[in-house]
Amino acid sequence: MGWLCWHCLVLRRQQPRRRDVLLRFFHALFAGDGVGLNGIECGVLLNWLTEDPALANSKPWTADPLENTLVRLGTSVADGKPTTWISTQTVHTIVAVLKESPASPMTTAQDAGMLAALVQHLAEWETNPADLQPSRYGTGWRFRQQTIALTEHPTVLSQLGGPFFLFQCKITKTGQLVEPS
């Protein structure tokens, strides 16, 4: 994850919002890895997944139960673990569950937009709507990057070309970072 700016590497990890956790999902899935969350990020995700008990009855949760994941997230929060790894398949299940969740007062428009963008790009990576040739791009991050570049429906995640490279955040005159969103 060394290609992220200081804001994404540090600030988003110390005071994460829901969209920051979704952005971590996006970056890790783009790279083709599982997702490593710190204890604070685990707390944000745990609260999101448990705030509405109806989520446990959703189709994705029923097909791939998340109870053990909730226990791991809770343990990570309590122990302040530096990293808790979540498998790619579990992240896909979490995203599917969150997609079906009703909007809550804790979910902002930016959170909902980030979730919609993540869902869209995950679907594009699976279905290859641009009909990219595997012999040219393979199935790894180059394929995913090209899919994002050729998307018919640009998102907040695709506008900057996928994962945000170092120094892509804008810095204001006061020295504050303006994040890509």
pLDDT tens-digit map of 52-100: 888 999 999 999 999 999 999 999 999 989 999 999 999 999 999 999 8
CA 143/CA 134 separation, integer angstroms: 8
- 8 A C-beta contact, residue 48 and residue 98: yes
Between 175 and 43, residue with greater pLDDT: 43
> Does the structure show a pLDDT above 60 at 1?
no
Q: How many CB atoms lie within 10 A of CB 140?
A: 11
- 8 A C-beta contact, residue 49 and residue 90: no
